[in-house]
Amino acid sequence: MKAVGARLPRYDGLQHVTGQSVYVDDVRVPDMLWAKALRSTVHSAEIKKLDVSKALRVPGVHAVVTHEDVPVNIVGHLAALGVPADEPLLAEHEVRYQGQPIAVVAAETEEIAQEAVNAIEISYEEREPFLDIRKAFDPDVPKVSPSGNLFVYEPYTERRVRKGDIDWAFEKADRIVQGVYRPAAIEHCPTETQVALVVPEATGRLVIYSCTQAMYFSMGVVATHLGVSLNDLKFVGGTVGGGFGGKVDTAAETISALLAIKAKRPVKWRWTREEEFLCSSVRATWHVEIADAVTKDGWILGRRTLTLHDAGAYTRFSSYGATKHAFHLGGAYTIPNLSFNAYVIWSNHVPTTAMRGFGVTSVSFAVELHMTRIATVLGIDPWELRLKNASRVGDTAPTRVVLKDPSAVPTIQAAAQAAGVELASEYRAMTNAPRKGKTLPRHLVDQLGAWRDNGGR
Amino acid sequence: MSLIINGAEYELASPPLTSLLNVLREEVGLLSPKAGCQQGGCGTCTVLIDGEPRRACLTPLGAIEGAAITTVEGLGDPRNLSPVQAAFHEHYAAQCGFCTPGMMMAATGLLARRPDATRDDVLEALAGHFCRCTGYVKIVDAVLSAAAGRVDTTRPEPEAEPGEPSVVIPGSPA
Ligand code: FES
Ligand code: FES
């Protein structure tokens, strides 16, 4: 254990403190143009008219791109995993969120580019937006996508997790403890806003300076939109002014590339702080409902949950995030009987995306508040309730994986110690070791028994 | 228009309403001041104007004719760091590094004015300087250690030595 806990110098520390780190905005190339975007001013609308001819006539403008310029406009971030492509790079006949890019201009200066954007003629026929995901099951709400507002996990409309015999648990329970938890959306707010610089080479290859957190992933997204192969792109990245998940989406690279191809000049697109806040993806809003079947002495026999995840206008990574969420809804605790349903819901909010612990922080928020609620309802010490139900070696996760080295017990003990909480001796002495005696109640004896008896369903 | 930037005199062609940030980045080519918001909200563009930390994005060139400007490039190079630079390096006060130039210029301005700055002074000087990565603790610690002279500018590399875990975890196999 020489590396863990060692103080190693940051590999980029000296260049950071001497101002020598080269972020995308610091790359200097000759003849560079600046980009500015026309973005939707409304949450939901048909585009009735889009005319960029006046923008093209502004002196100093070198290119304008709309959806017509994109070889493959509709691409899915998780197409490689079989998730249907649903998001246009540039809006076609409709806009589904405020801030959605519609047309982008490259010009000699940012000011000229903005002037040209202002000259683009656009008219909308506004539609009623769908913004409250709790109403997703109401047949009268506006549809975000022609197929409705629910992403489909074939063959279900929700990600399901089932384990044990949930009805048995709710019959046997002394109390049912219910709660609703709603972690709100969060903007990643990196100090460096989204930015890309694309330099066309004489060979036709594009050099793409990118702030992406996911180089090879972003290369794939750009290549797919442009209909080119990966060796037509040279990505330069690795110096990122903060990302936190928000720079996994490929935000500025593809459009800058299209402009650079059209203008035959290098193009930089640096989002403003307003664009970062209003138009870049955010951590989703989640709505999590939990009902736990508990015994008087603090055992959790079963858990039912309903999760609504606000994907925003397009799927991006949401189906993956909600799957991860559903797999973790047991928290750090072992509950043998489970029924989890997690829905990915499209709304007219800005598309949501990965952020630090994607899908799982919403679990921690909901489950830990719920554990404290159970303790309060039962009049049990919240630390003891947690330690009692904490996963141990040999317990099974919601996915029925047998746990080999769970860390819940030592983590909760360390948290108690750090918080200055004196645990009762039996909880201080508790370890990860497989359950036996008092720590092995009947309902945890054969954790996969009911599932097997059900024929593995 | 003319400015003295990091000790050298510059004749500038930018129009007087150009922000100092754009003058430094786009005309002079000094890239340490960053454009985090260009509206005074984040502090990444902070430079010293006649010794005072100021937001370059909000300062029009025409308002500071003849002023002396200091940027991170004027503090020190990798072999000869200023105390503030060395402290930021030693204390891991730069993570992505994007806020770091502004933070360091604010700290440098503070310590020039108040070499014995207290924690409250540091918090006040860094107010309005936004860091999304570090959680600020390491930045404040770095400035305080520079104030206390507890930095070795000749050996800025932190020593690679195993540390003690701060919380002893009962039952941990380690
Ligand atoms: S760029 Fe000047 S304060 Fe943000
Ligand atoms: S180190 Fe990333 S914003 Fe401060």
pLDDT in tens, A401-448: 999 999 999 999 999 999 999 999 999 999 999 999 999 999 999 888
| pLDDT for position A62 | 98
Interface of A with B in 234-263 (CB under 8 A): 240-244
Band of residue B167 on the pLDDT scale cut at 50, 70, 90: very low
A30 touches chain B (CB under 8 A): no
Kindly report, residue by residue over A338-369, the tens digit of the pLDDT: 999 999 999 999 999 999 999 999 999 999 99
Question: Cβ–Cβ of A13/B130 closer than 8 Å?
Answer: no
Which has more confidence, A52 or A450? A52
Band of residue B164 on the pLDDT scale cut at 50, 70, 90: very low
- Find, in chain B, the residue whose alpha carbon is nearest to that of A193: B36
| pLDDT for position A5 | 80
| pLDDT for position A8 | 84
| pLDDT for position A9 | 86
| pLDDT for position B116 | 94
Are the C-beta atoms of A385 and A378 separated by less than 8 Å?
A: yes
Kindly report, residue by residue over B85-136, the tens digit of the pLDDT: 999 999 999 999 999 999 999 999 999 999 999 999 999 999 999 999 999 9
**Which one of B76, B158, B169 has the shortest CB-CB distance to A18?**
B76
Mutate to test the interface with B, among A17, A193, A212, A269 (most CBs of B within 10 A): A17
| pLDDT for position A1 | 61
Alpha helices in A280-360 (DSSP H): 318-327
Do the strands A286-294 and A175-181 form a parallel or antiparallel pair, or are they unpaired?
antiparallel
| pLDDT for position A112 | 98
| Rg, Å, chain B Cα set | 18
Q: CB count, 10 Å around CB of A182?
A: 14
- Residue B94 alpha carbon, nearest atom of ligand 2: 1
Q: A182 is written with which tokens?
A: 């709603």
Q: What is the mean pLDDT of chain A?
A: 96
Pocket test for ligand 1, best of B57, B99, B132 (most atoms within 8 A of CB): B57
Task: Name which of A69-73, A75-79, A146-150, A168-172 the model is least confident about.
Answer: A75-79
Q: What percent of chain A has pLDDT over 90?
A: 93
Q: B81 is written with which tokens?
A: 């760091």
Question: Cβ–Cβ of A15/B34 closer than 8 Å?
Answer: no
Chain A: closest CA distance from residue B144 (Å): 16
A428 touches chain B (CB under 8 A): yes
Q: Is the dihedral of CA B6, B12, B17, B23 positive or negative?
A: negative
Residues having CB within 6 Å of any atom of ligand 2: A 191, 242; B 94-100, 131-134
Distance A243 CA to ligand 1 centre (A): 18
Q: A430 is written with which tokens?
A: 């508790």
| pLDDT for position B86 | 96
Q: What is the mean pLDDT of residues A114-136?
A: 98
Do the strands A33-39 and A267-270 form a parallel or antiparallel pair, or are they unpaired?
parallel
Band of residue B160 on the pLDDT scale cut at 50, 70, 90: very low
Q: A1 is written with which tokens?
A: 């254990």
- Find, in chain B, the residue whose alpha carbon is nearest to that of A28: B29
Q: A30 is written with which tokens?
A: 């000759």
pTM over 0.90: yes
Do the strands A233-236 and A267-270 form a parallel or antiparallel pair, or are they unpaired?
unpaired
SS3 B5: strand
Are the C-beta atoms of A189 and A277 separated by less than 8 Å?
A: yes
Q: Is the pLDDT of residue A309 over 80?
A: yes
Alpha helices in chain B (DSSP H): 20-22, 83-90, 100-113, 119-126, 137-147
Domains, in order of start, for chain B:
2-74 (3.10.20.30), 83-148 (1.10.150.120)
Task: Name which of A147-151, A190-194, A438-442, B11-15 the model is least confident about.
Answer: A438-442
Q: B153 is written with which tokens?
A: 């500018």
Task: Give residue for tokens 């369903």.
Answer: A457
| pLDDT for position B158 | 53
Do the strands B2-5 and B68-70 form a parallel or antiparallel pair, or are they unpaired?
parallel
Q: Is the pLDDT of residue A136 over 50?
A: yes
Q: What percent of chain A has pLDDT over 70?
A: 98
Round to whole Å and give the CA distance between A59 and A40.
24
| pLDDT for position B174 | 38
Q: B157 is written with which tokens?
A: 């590399």
Q: Is the dihedral of CA B30, B34, B35, B40 positive or negative?
A: negative
Task: Give residue for tokens 């769970």.
Answer: A406
Q: A331 is written with which tokens?
A: 């928290």
Neighbouring residues of B61: CB distance < 8 A, sequence distance ≥ 6: B1, B3, B12, B14, B15, B16, B17, B18, B19, B20, B23
Cα–Cα distances in Å, from A34 out to A51, A92, A107, A111, A178? 21, 23, 5, 9, 54
Report chain B residues whose CB lies below 8 A from the CB of A25. 34-35
Q: Name the closest-CA residue to atom 3, ligand 1.
A: B40
Band of residue A453 on the pLDDT scale cut at 50, 70, 90: confident
Report chain A residues whose CB lies below 8 A from the CB of B75. 18
